[in-house]
Structure 1
Amino acid sequence: MVLLSFDIEEFDMAFEYGRTISFEDQISISTKGTNLILDLLAKYQFKATFFCTATFAQHAPEILRRINDEGHELASHGYYHSNFIPEHLLTSRQELERLSGREIKGYRMARMMPVDEKEIKKAGYVYNSSINPTWLPGRYNNLKVSRTYFDQEGVIQIPASVSPMRFPLFWLSFHNLPLWLYKYLVKRTYKKDGYLNVYFHPWEFTDLHDQERFGFPGYVSRNSGVQMVTRMDNFMQWIKLNNYPTGTISAFVSSL
Structure 2
Amino acid sequence: MTALVHTAHDRAVTTLTLDSPGNRNALSAALVGRLADGLTRCGKDSDVRAVVLTHAGNTFCAGADLRDPPDPDVLVGLLRQIVELRKPVLARVTGHVRAGGLGLLGACDIAVAGAGASFAFTEVRIGVAPAVISLPLLPRTDPRALARYYLTGERFDAAEAVRTGLLTAAGDDVDAVLAPVLDGLRRASPQGLAATKDLLTAKVLEAFDRDAAGLTALSAELFSSAQAREGMTAFLERRDPAWVV
User: Could you say which TM-score interval applies, normalised by the shorter chain?
Assistant: 0.3 to 0.5
The structure where helix makes up a greater share of residues is 2
Ranked by relative contact order (alpha carbons within 8 Å, sequence separation 6 or more), the top structure is: 1
Scaled by the length of structure 2, what TM-score is found? 0.33
Scaled by the length of structure 1, what TM-score is found? 0.32
The structure where strand makes up a greater share of residues is 2
